[in-house]
């Protein structure tokens, strides 16, 4: 029994000794890694010949969490160029640099700090899947009264997996026009945008700022059919310019809903010629509806040449025969404007199958018009077999 006790004591001593040795090995490895990191940081300040700083920053980024404290110290103590490479290294670590977020947040909140924007961009790259990071960035945007930092947060959206919509909603509500404008521009450049963003987009412009309204309409167009109600509301603005922007965007939205078609029919009676012109363009995709055709036929005799052209062009674009438009197209072939006569001649041919009268109109256009109307007339004659 005494022998067994001695054996247990010996094993315990061996375990303690092994643990101590292992701890010493880890300590030595950590010290060696820290020395290597410090060496790379020194090389970042004074790079060896032929070694770009960007490469050294990438190597530091591969060191992971142990390099975080030293990189943060480098940001605090170094000149601008070196500090920015430290940000590059932290960004490369992504989630492995999570321990840097508290200090980076302090930098971002310090209005006098020269690297606020770098800090925001790095935070976004460190935690793109972290809800807390998304909330933090949103908080920074909301609390930035001047808007400079808010723009940096806004431009971090491509790397955010979470809360990017929240960031955009906050940006659209920001007091600074520049932030709202940038948010609208970015939304307008997206391939698709979630329809729930329509109300914040609408709220971001007061309907009087032409540029903001234009950007809002572009963003709403990206949201598809669900954003059409917002565009319809904008198209009813007292401002002529806003009506134009909204109707232009609505005319590009597909499919044309019954509500949109009703708005176009209403706009066709507007006192403003450009509004009527956009209405004609918007009704083109629904020319298969009898009520839409009736509105377009009426517009073919409008006092404004562009309105007439848009209406005749909409009828010409129909992919099926419309015998009931023949009379209006026959009259339009005598229009004073060559472009209207061109569209009317083709539309009449498509509606009736008759070639002689429209071909005479087109031949006259070829003889007298050396511009695009003449070239289009030549192409139309070829399609007719003339």
CATH number of the CATH domain containing 316: 1.25.10
In a domain, 146, yes or no: yes
Contacts of 36 (CB under 8 A, 6+ apart): 63
Contacts of 107 (CB under 8 A, 6+ apart): 75, 113, 115, 116, 119
Q: Is the pLDDT of residue 165 over 60?
A: yes
- Read off the DSSP letter of residue 163: S
CB atoms within 10 A of CB 94: 16
Print burial letters for 95-121: b (CB count within 10 Å at least 16), e (below 16).
ebbbebbebbbebbeeeeeebbbbbbb
CA pair distance 42, 194, nearest whole angstrom:
48
175, 210, 244 — which closes off a domain? 175
pLDDT band at 161 (very low <50, low <70, confident <90, very high): low
Q: Is the pLDDT of residue 5 over 60?
A: no
Q: Is the pLDDT of residue 18 over 60?
A: no
- Tokens for 321? 């025969």
Q: Are 124 and 98 in contact (CB under 8 A)?
A: no
In a domain, 84, yes or no: yes
Mean pLDDT throughout 139-161? Answer: 89
Q: Which of 151-155, 265-269, 279-283 has the lowest mean pLDDT?
A: 151-155
In a domain, 162, yes or no: yes
Q: What pLDDT, on the 0 to 100 scale, is given for residue 15? A: 55
63-72, 129-138, 140-149, 265-274: range with highest mean pLDDT: 265-274
Q: What pLDDT, on the 0 to 100 scale, is given for residue 236? A: 92
Question: 338-352 and 356-368 helices cross at what angle (nearest 10)?
Answer: 160
Percent of the chain exceeding pLDDT 90 equals 56
Q: Is the pLDDT of residue 9 over 90?
A: no
* Residue bearing the bigger pLDDT, 103 or 130: 103
In a domain, 127, yes or no: yes
Nearest by Cα to 153 from 119, 111, 177, 176: 119
Averaged pLDDT score across all residues of the chain: 87
Mean pLDDT throughout 8-26? Answer: 51
In a domain, 217, yes or no: no
Q: Is the pLDDT of residue 260 over 90?
A: yes
Q: What pLDDT, on the 0 to 100 scale, is given for residue 293? A: 94
Q: What's the total number of domains in the chain?
A: 2
pLDDT band at 31 (very low <50, low <70, confident <90, very high): confident
Sign of CA dihedral 243, 247, 249, 254: positive
CA pair distance 380, 386, nearest whole angstrom:
9
Helix/strand/coil for 189: helix
> Does 277 sit behind a cis peptide bond, omega within 30 degrees of 0 on the bond before it?
no
At residue 333's C-alpha, the angle toward residues 327 and 334, to 5°, is 105
Q: Is the pLDDT of residue 154 over 70?
A: yes
- Read off the DSSP letter of residue 147: S
CA pair distance 78, 56, nearest whole angstrom:
16
175, 195, 219 — which closes off a domain? 175
Mean pLDDT throughout 37-41? Answer: 89
Sheet strands (E) in 234-352? none
156, 175, 194 — which closes off a domain? 175
Percent of the chain exceeding pLDDT 70 equals 89
In a domain, 249, yes or no: no
> Does 255 sit behind a cis peptide bond, omega within 30 degrees of 0 on the bond before it?
yes
CA pair distance 30, 61, nearest whole angstrom:
17
* CA-atom Rg of the chain in angstroms: 34
- Tokens for 16? 């303690």
Q: Is the pLDDT of residue 370 over 90?
A: no
Q: Is the pLDDT of residue 124 over 60?
A: yes
**Residue range of the domain that includes 115:** 38-44+52-175
CA pair distance 359, 88, nearest whole angstrom:
68
In a domain, 107, yes or no: yes
pTM summary value: 0.73
Q: What pLDDT, on the 0 to 100 scale, is given for residue 381? A: 95
In a domain, 164, yes or no: yes
Q: What pLDDT, on the 0 to 100 scale, is given for residue 26? A: 47
Going from the C-alpha of 86 to that of each of 37, 38, 42, 67, the distances in angstroms are 12, 12, 12, 10
Which residue matches tokens 């995709």?
Answer: 285
């Amino acid at each position: 029994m005494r022998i067994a006790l001695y054996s247990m004591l010996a094993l315990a001593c061996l375990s303690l000794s092994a643990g101590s040795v292992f701890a010493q090995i880890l300590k030595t490895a950590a010290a060696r890694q820290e020395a290597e990191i410090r060496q790379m940081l020194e090389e970042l300040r004074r790079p060896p010949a032929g070694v770009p700083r960007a490469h050294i920053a990438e190597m530091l980024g591969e060191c992971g969490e142990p390099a975080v404290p030293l990189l943060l110290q480098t940001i605090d103590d170094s000149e601008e160029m070196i500090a920015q490479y430290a940000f590059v290294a932290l960004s490369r670590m992504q989630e492995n640099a999570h321990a840097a977020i508290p200090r980076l947040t302090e930098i971002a909140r310090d209005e006098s700090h020269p690297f606020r924007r770098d800090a925001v961009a790095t935070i976004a790259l460190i935690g793109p899947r972290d809800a807390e990071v998304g909330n933090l960035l949103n908080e920074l945007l909301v609390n930035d009264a001047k808007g400079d930092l808010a723009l940096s947060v806004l431009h971090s959206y491509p790397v955010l997996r979470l809360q990017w919509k929240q960031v955009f909603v906050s940006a659209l509500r920001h007091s600074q026009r520049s932030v709202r404008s940038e948010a609208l521009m970015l939304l307008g450049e997206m391939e698709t945008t979630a329809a729930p963003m329509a109300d914040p987009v609408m709220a971001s412009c007061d309907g009087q700022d032409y540029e903001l309204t234009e950007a809002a309409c572009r963003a709403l167009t990206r949201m598809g059919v669900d954003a059409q109600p917002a565009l319809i509301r904008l198209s009813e603005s007292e401002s002529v310019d806003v009506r134009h922007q909204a109707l232009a965007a609505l005319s590009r939205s597909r499919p044309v809903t019954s509500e949109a078609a009703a708005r176009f029919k209403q706009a066709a009676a507007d006192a403003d010629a450009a509004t009527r012109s956009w209405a004609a363009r918007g009704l083109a995709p629904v020319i298969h509806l009898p009520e839409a055709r009736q509105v377009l036929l009426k517009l073919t005799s409008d006092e404004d040449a562009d309105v007439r052209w848009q209406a005749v062009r909409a009828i010409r674009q129909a992919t099926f025969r419309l015998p009931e438009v023949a009379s209006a197209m026959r009259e339009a072939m005598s229009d004073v404007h060559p472009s209207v006569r061109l569209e009317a001649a083709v539309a009449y041919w498509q509606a009736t199958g008759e070639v002689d009268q429209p071909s005479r109109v087109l031949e006259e256009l070829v003889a007298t018009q050396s511009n695009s109307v003449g070239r289009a007339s030549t192409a139309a004659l070829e399609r007719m077999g003339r």
